[in-house]
Chain A
Amino acid sequence: VKNEGPTAGAVHSTEMDYAHWTALHERADGIFVADCWKHCGSYCCKTNHAQQDFSLMKCGSAGMVFPGQEYAFLKENDLLQDGFEATARHWNYVIDADRGLSIKFVTAHCDLGGICSNAKWRPLICKFYPLYPKVVAEGGAIESYTFGSIIDQYWDELGVEHPCWLYRNHGDDIDKTIRRTLPEVLSHPYLIFYLGAANIFVDHVARSSQGKELALIFSDPRQFFRAWEVSYLTGQLIDQEALRGELVAHYDAIVAHHGPFEL
């Protein structure tokens, strides 16, 4: 896709090479704290909290989200975890049709329950969990974080302790590790965009949840999650126009520093 950026000049390719992906994955491995799953029953891999009374979303597994290039890199190098390819769904979300801007991402299910078939190359979203970083538009520093899973937004409001032992006990350490080791390898415009886009999306859904009747049932976590999943899956928590506007503004902020680039 050749995007017409807001400024003059050629649109440059954003394809990251093997060395860059390798460096990124190796450094992201440093976030991991060994045996953390012993404290939570592998919550992040199993979506198994007793209060999450989902009817539609699959419990006992985890939903994966990949930037298109990350999935393509893992697939082309035969590095995907078992089961990802069979459940992969490729998305093309148009954020500005006139300028040919669309986000390419892949979703998949992970049914491995915490036992990765290829742990070294588990998805970045897993390596970053319980946080998900946003890099400043110019690169070189972490701007902020959102939660590593979209269903982790609500624990405070629900009055329930965050299920992730790492988040509860080592959140500051994870933040420091990410800030110390990752900004350089995350400062590619393609990654800056997709990390930021994920943050924007999660925050958008969280704000929408709090503005709807869902807020009225925060006192009952199981009822909340049942209502939330239907609202989320049917698109009721997403104001498409507002979301697209936020994503285009994010793209333009990066272009201002790096020039037009392919999404």
Chain B
Amino acid sequence: MNLKEIMANVFHCNVEDIDNSAKINEVSGWDSLNHVVLIMRLNSEGHDIPAHMIAELTSYEAIADYIGEE
């Protein structure tokens, strides 16, 4: 799955709801708790996002840039 598909899966929304400008608390299901779930999910899929970055990666673009996904 690509990042948008993972996010939609975690947030229980449609992939189409995650556009490139998507941000936390502006997308249905992307709240603070699900944000932490998303980071854990990405780490379980081989990424290595440290705790101190959790509060920085609050947009689709920031996360995609960090994990190197276009």
Residue numbers of A with Cβ under 8 A of B are: 54-58, 86-87, 89, 109, 226, 229-230, 233-234
Determine the chain A residues whose CB is within 8 A of the CB of B58 once the complex forms: 55-56
Chain A residues with CB below 8 A from B3, complex form: none
A-B contact pairs, 14 of them (CB 8 A): A56-B24, A56-B35, A56-B36, A56-B58, A57-B32, A58-B25, A58-B31, A109-B31, A226-B55, A230-B52, A233-B32, A233-B35, A233-B36, A234-B54
Contact of A56 among B28, B51, B55 (CB under 8 A): B55
Give the distance to chain A from B49, nearest Cβ to Cβ, in Å: 11
Complexed CA–CA distance, A75 and B28 (Å):
21
- B contacts with A, residue count (CB < 8 A): 14
Select the residue from B24, B33, B35, B55 with max chain A CB neighbours within 10 A. B55
Nearest chain-A residue to B54 (Cβ)? Answer: A230
Give CA–CA (A89, B56) in the complex, Å.
25
Q: Which of B28, B31, B35, B36 has the most CB of A within 10 A?
A: B31
- Contact pick for B33, options A86, A89, A226, A230, CB 8 Å: A89
Q: Cβ of A230: which chain B residues have Cβ within 8 Å of it?
A: 51-52, 54-55
B residues within 8 A CB of A56? 24, 32, 35-36, 54-55, 58
Q: Which interface residue of A56, A57, A87, A226 has the most chain B CB atoms within 10 A?
A: A56
